[in-house]
Structure formats: C-alpha cells, structure tokens
C-alpha cells in the first residue's frame, strides 16, 4: 500500500548486569545496571519485504552488554559504559545510524563496620543514578544524567499562600507546613561529540554526586536556619538554577517534584477534643499529591 510513512526502531530492554572490580589492595568495587538499548537502523526490508538480513537481533544486543561489561577492566561510570555501548553499535554495524542507551544504576553502597569501610560489603541505598546516551554514526553525542527516588523532607520553613481562590477552594493559607517530595531530576551535558568528553576517570560519577549534593543543599539551606520555601515551584527553580550556576558543562535541568502531603491532624467528637493540631501530629499521605515539574535551561541550549 503506497502513501504510507514508517518510522521504526528496535532494541532490548531491562538487561541486568553486575560488574565487580578488585583492586590490588584487596578492595572490591561493584555496580549493578539495568540497561535498555534502542537502535535506529536501515532495516525497512524486515517490515516491508519479510527480509531480516539487516536486523541486529535483540538477543545479540543483550549478549553485547555482557561482553562489553567483561571488557571493562577498569572501573568506569554508568555514563562511560553507555557511551561505549552506543559507540559499538554505530561503528560495528553499517545499518545502524544511531544508538540510544538508557541505564539505571542500582544504589549499592559500601558498608562501614566499626567506623571502617568494608572491603567487599555493600548495602542497598535509595535514590538511583540514571543516564541516557545517544550516539550517531557521525560521532554526534547527547548525554543526559539523572537521579530517581531522591526523597527529601523538612518539617518547617515552608508555606503556601496568596494562590487563586474561588468557590472550590478549601485550602487555607499557611506559612508553616511540612515540605516533602521525591525528586526525579535529569541534566543534559553540553558535550556534543564523543571526541570531546572528559577523559578523567569516573568524571560523571563525581559530577552525579556533586549535582545531588547541590540539589539537597538548596532544598534544605544551612543546617541551623534552613531556607524558607514559599512554594514547591520556587524551590524547584532555585534547585535547578543552582545546578546551572555551579556546573558550566550542564546546559539544562529538568526536575519533577511531587508535593507529598502531611496533613494537619485534628480529631474531635461533639463533646470532646481528642487531638488538637499544634504543628505536631500529621497524617502522611501520598495520594492524591501535587504534581510540579519544570525544565530550566541556558538560553542557547536545547533540553
């Protein structure tokens, strides 16, 4: 049937791999990654002519993840591994024009026993390090890193007032409330070619940790006084702006911050007050919750 347009890609999703590196001093380092691969390739004949001769099998993609993990004799960041994978697919297969690699790193953290780091012991943390890497056959590159599940809460220095009021509004103004959210964030790096990325070992891992620290420092403020939040929107913007101000190789930031409510609790009967709220007893609830997200970028950048 003529007059049709087809856009296609294919890949392998949720390939789980763990890698352990053992230093000469006896300390072990490990990562666990959940890898998804998507290839843009010239394999239209598979769709139109029942001809699979130009298809890279998804099982081959899965096996490639394990083979490339084996080849990584030195410890590397999740971003570096994604770049290596994507470079392989666009260089090894003439049919592949672009490779998109998404990886989520499981948060295994080294344990400390009696104040000392354990040589080979790890515990599962909370927030997850993510990345999306896109490599084209020309060498053009896009790197986006991120964090998922960064749960933060402060018990004061938060309010919400002056919003639109109409006949459906029941929420009172307040300058005293709990502010809690679970941050999902991503930041796009300005590197546009595989030939100009930083060569420093574990550069992107260090940058991830630094960005996460800036997010939390901006959310909480200084340890004694904290910082007042007039809205989730305002705090989100300050967090994104802080990243762009601190890291000049980040061109744009996207943050999603649901407002997870802690509702003031009052209980009474017709004759008796059981619980009177005095900024002390709350009902935690995450359904329904407010949904706030925004992208902030330098004027010349594209998210």
Determine whether 248 is an active site residue: no
**Which residue's structure tokens are 């296609």?**
8
The dihedrals phi and psi of 229, each to the nearest 5 degrees, come to -115, 110
- Name beta bridge partners: 153: 180
Annotated ligand binding at 259? The verdict is yes
Catalytic residue among 62, 129, 254, 261: 261
Distances from the Cα of 194 to the Cα of 136, 229, 238, angstroms: 9, 40, 31
The one-character DSSP state at 277 is -
> Was 207 annotated as part of a binding site?
no
Instruction: State yes or no: 218 annotated in a binding site.
Output: no
Say whether 261 is catalytic. Answer: yes
List 12, 62, 129, 154, catalytic entry = 12
Q: What stretches of 106-178 adopt beta strand conformation (E)?
A: 108-113, 116-124, 128-136, 141-154
Active site residue 157: no
**Measuring CA to CA, which residue among 215, 191, 214, 219 is closest to residue 203?**
191
Let me know: does 135 contact 146? Beta carbons within 8 Å.
no
Q: Please tell me the distance from the alpha carbon of residue 86 to that of residue 84, in angstroms, as a whole number.
A: 6
Q: Tell whether residue 58 is among the known ligand binding residues.
A: yes
The dihedrals phi and psi of 89, each to the nearest 5 degrees, come to -65, -40
| Annotated catalytic residue, options 10, 28, 58, 106 | 58
128 assigned binding-site residue: no
Q: How many CB atoms lie within 10 A of CB 223?
A: 6
- Binding site membership for 5-hydroxyisourate: which residues? 232-233, 259
Annotated binding site for O2: 259
- What are the binding residues for urate? 58-59, 160, 177, 232-233, 259
Binding residues: 58-59, 160, 177, 232-233, 259
| Catalytic positions | 12, 58, 261
């Amino acid at each position: 049937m003529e007059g049709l347009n087809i856009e296609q890609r294919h890949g392998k999703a949720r390939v789980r791999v763990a890698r352990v590196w053992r230093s000469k001093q006896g300390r072990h380092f490990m990562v666990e990654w959940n890898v998804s691969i998507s290839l843009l390739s010239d394999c239209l004949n598979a769709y139109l002519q029942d001809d699979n001769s130009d298809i890279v099998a998804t099982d081959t993609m899965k096996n490639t993840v394990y083979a490339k993990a084996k080849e990584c004799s030195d410890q590397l960041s999740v971003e570096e591994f994604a770049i290596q994978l994507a470079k392989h697919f666009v260089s090894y297969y003439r049919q592949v024009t672009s490779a998109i690699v998404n990886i989520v790193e499981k948060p295994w953290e080294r344990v400390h026993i009696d104040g000392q780091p354990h040589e080979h012991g790890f515990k599962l943390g909370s927030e997850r390090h993510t990345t999306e890497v896109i490599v084209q056959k020309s060498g053009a590159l896009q790197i986006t890193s991120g964090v998922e599940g960064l749960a933060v809460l402060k018990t004061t220095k938060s309010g919400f007032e002056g919003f639109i009021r109409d006949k459906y509004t029941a929420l009172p103004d307040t300058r005293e409330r709990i502010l809690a959210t679970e941050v999902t964030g991503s930041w796009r790096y300005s590197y546009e070619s595989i030939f100009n990325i930083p060569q420093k070992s574990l550069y992107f891992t260090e940058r991830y940790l630094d960005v996460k620290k800036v997010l939390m420092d901006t959310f909480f403020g200084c340890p004694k006084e904290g910082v007042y939040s007039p809205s989730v929107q305002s705090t989100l913007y300050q967090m994104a702006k802080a990243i762009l101000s601190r890291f000049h190789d980040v061109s744009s930031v996207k943050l999603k911050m649901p407002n997870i409510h802690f509702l003031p609790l009052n209980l009474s009967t017709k004759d008796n007050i059981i619980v009177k709220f005095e900024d002390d007893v709350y009902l935690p609830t995450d359904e329904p919750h407010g949904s706030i997200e925004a992208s902030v970028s330098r004027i010349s950048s594209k998210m």
